[in-house]
Chain A
C-alpha cells in the first residue's frame, strides 16, 4: 500500500524509533507505516468514529477526538513529533491548534493544500466561482475546509509566532517542486516546525 505523497514525505523524515502523535490520523495509514517501517511508537487522534474503529482494528492506539478541543489534554513535550496532515484548514482555530502541536511535540509536521495554487487562482479569477479542484474537490457549501490557507499565509503565521521552519516540501501533482515559487506552483505544502 502506497502512502499519499505528503504522508510519504513525512514518513521519510520522521526519526526511527521516535514517539509520534498523528492528529487527524484517519484510518491510521501513516501510523501503520511509521510503526512497521520505522519502529515508531505512534498514537492518533481522529474525529471520525468509523476511521477510529478501522485504525484500532489495525492494532493502532487511536483516540476519537477533535483537534480543536482535545489537544489541550496532552502534556507538554510528550511526543517527538506531532503531525497534522490535511487537517489544519478544517480546524476552527488553526493558530491555537498549531501552538498545541508545538507544545505537545518537540517538532511538528503540518501539511495542507495551498489555496494560492495558480489553478485555484485562475478558477476564481476567470470562473468567478469558488474553485473545485483535485485537492479541493468539494463545493463551497459542503467543504470541511473552513480556513483556507496559502503557503505565504502559513509562512507569515509561523514568522509572526516566532516558530522555526526546519524543513519544507512542496508538491505539484505527485511531483516535488521548488520553494521559491511555491505559493504559485505548489498544490500541497509540508512543513517541519519547532518552537
Chain B
C-alpha cells in the first residue's frame, strides 16, 4: 500500500517528495527473493533525515531490529513514542543528521508500510497472509538497495545497525560491497544459533497456537491473535535483558495493591510479582503496534541467517578482497548475541584482511544495551564514522 498521501516534509530540506519522514514508495520490482519467488511490486515505508550532499557521499543507512521500524528518530505514528534510537541519531548525535543524510526503512516482511503478510496481494486483492513468500535478511537488504536507487544514493558512507540491523549491515557489506564504505555492527551475529532459533520457535508456536491466528487469515475480521503474539513478545523480551538487570529492576518484589502497598501474594495467578506485570505490559503494548504474521516472517528470516553458509561455509569469504571498513561492538551481558558471536565475525574480518575494529562494552542491560544510554558506544560510533570522512 502506498501511504505516500500522508507524507510530510518536515525535514526542512528540499521539496523533493522522496525525502523526509513518513515516506513510502511502491517500486515496480520485481525483487528476486532467496526463496526463488519474484516479488512485485515492492512497497517500502521509510524516512530520511538531513540533506544528501551534492556528491552523494554522506548517506548513512540505519537498519532496524526485529520489531523496530523506520521511525528511528521521529515519533511513532501508532504509539506516539519518540524514535527508537534518538540517542544515536539526530542533530549533534553520533549519527549527526546535520552532517549525514540518514535513511531508515521498514524491513521487507514488516508491517509499517513495507510489503509483508499484512499488505495486499495484487493478484487476489486480499492481504497476503501466509501466502506471502518467506524472506531472508539478504532479501531485506536487496529491497533497501532498490530504495537507495530510488533515492539516488549510489554508495553508502555507512550502514549501521544493532541486533537484526547488524545482520543487515553484514549482509550489505557481503552483498553490495561496492556500495558500502563502512559498516557498524552492534550486538549482532553472523548467524542464528540453535538457542536463537529455539527461542524464536517458542514465539512462533505461541502465535500459531492462538485459535485467533486461523492460519494467518485474521485480517478481514480485524481480530488478530493478540494473546499468542503477546506471549511470543514476553518470551523474547526476556532474551533482551540480563539476569542481573532483571534482578536489579525487579528482584522478587511484589506488585503493590490498594490494601497492601508493599504487595502481597494473592495465592492465585494474578501478576503477583512485578516482573510478571512488567512482561504482561510489554506483551500487551507490543500487539498494538505489530502484526503477528510479520513476527512469524521476520523471525524466520533471522533463523535462516547464516552469512558463512552463503559463502561456501567460510565467513571470511564474505569479506575477502573488499574495501569496507568495519566496526563491531558487543555488550558483555548480552546473551542473545554474545561477544563470542562478534568475535567470530572479527576473526573472519581479520582473516580476510579487512579493516576492522572491535570492542566489547560493559553494560548491565543485556542485549537491549545497544538501545540505551552508552557514552562509550557513542564515542566509538562517532569516532569510527568521523575517521571515514578523510
Q: Which of B353, B355, B356 contacts A78 (CB 8 A)?
A: B353
Q: Is the CB of B386 within 8 A of A63?
A: no
Inter-subunit contact B382/A63 (CB<8 Å): no
Are A53 and B376 also in contact (CB < 8 A) when A59-B384, A64-B359 are? yes
Q: Which residue of B lies closest to A75 (CB)?
A: B351
Query: Would you call A61 and B376 a contact (CB within 8 A)?
Result: no
Interface assignment of A52: CB less than 8 Å from any CB of chain B? yes
> What residues on B are CB-neighbors of A49 within 8 Å?
359-362, 376
Residues of the A chain whose Cβ atoms lie less than 8 Å from the Cβ of B386: 57, 59
B353 (CB) vs chain A CBs: closest residue: A78
Residue of A nearest to B325 (CB): A61
Q: Is the interface of A mostly helix, strand, loop or mixed?
A: mixed
Q: Which residues of B contact A53 (CB under 8 A)?
A: 359, 361, 376, 379-380, 383
- List residues of chain B with CB within 8 A of the CB of A140: none
Within the complex, the shortest CB–CB distance from B181 to chain A, in Å, comes to 13
B343: chain A residues within 8 A (beta carbon): 65
Residue of A nearest to B327 (CB): A56
When C-beta atoms are compared, the residue in chain A nearest to B382 turns out to be: A57
- Please give, as numbers and ranges, the residues of chain A lying within 8 Å of B380 by CB-CB distance: 53, 56-57
Can you name the residue of chain B whose Cβ is closest to the Cβ of A51?
B359
Does the CB pair B353–A75 fall under 8 Å? yes
Taking the complex as formed, is A92 at the interface, i.e. its CB lies under 8 A from any CB of chain B? no
A147 within 8 A of B: no
Other-chain residue from B355, B358, B382, B384 in contact with A64 (beta carbon distance below 8 A): B358
B123 at the interface (CB under 8 A from A): no
Is A43 located at the chain interface by the 8 A CB criterion?
Answer: yes
**Docked CA distance A63–B379 (Å):** 15
B382 touches A73 (CB 8 A): no
- B317 CB–A CB distance under 8 Å: no
Whether B357 pairs with A73 at a CB distance below 8 angstroms is: no
Interface residues of A in 16-70 (CB under 8 A from B): 43, 49-50, 52-65
Count of inter-chain pairs, beta carbons less than 8 A: 70
Interface flag for A118 (CB, 8 Å): no
Contact residues, B331-390 vs A (CB, 8 A): 343, 346-347, 350-351, 353, 355-362, 376, 379-380, 382-384, 386-388, 390
Q: Mark B89-121, 1 if CB is under 8 A from A, else 0.
A: 000000000000000000000000000000000
Instruction: For the complex, give the distance between the alpha carbons of A73 and B351 in Å.
Output: 7
Of A56, A73, A74, A78, the residue contacting B383 (CB under 8 A) is A56
How far, in angstroms, from A54 to B376 measured CA to CA in the complex?
Answer: 9
Q: Provide the residues of chain A in CB contact with B361, threshold 8 Å.
A: 49, 53
Point out the residues of chain A lying under 8 angstroms from B379, CB to CB. 53-54, 56-57
Closest to A43 in B: B355
B353 touches A62 (CB 8 A): no
> Could you tell me the distance in whole angstroms from the C-beta of A59 to the nearest C-beta in chain B?
3
Q: Which residues of B contact A74 (CB under 8 A)?
A: 350-351
Q: Which residues of A contact B360 (CB under 8 A)?
A: 49, 64
Closest residue to A104 on the B side, CB-wise? B350
Q: Which residues of B contact A43 (CB under 8 A)?
A: 355-356
4 tightest Cβ-Cβ pairs between the two chains A and B: A59-B387, A57-B383, A52-B359, A63-B358
Binding site for A on B (CB under 8 A): 325, 327, 343, 346-347, 350-351, 353, 355-362, 376, 379-380, 382-384, 386-388, 390
A-B contact pairs, 5 of them (CB 8 A): A49-B361, A52-B357, A55-B357, A63-B346, A73-B346
Known pairs A53-B376, A57-B383, A59-B383. 11 more at Cβ < 8 A?
A49-B361, A56-B327, A58-B383, A59-B390, A62-B359, A63-B350, A63-B358, A65-B358, A73-B350, A74-B351, A75-B353
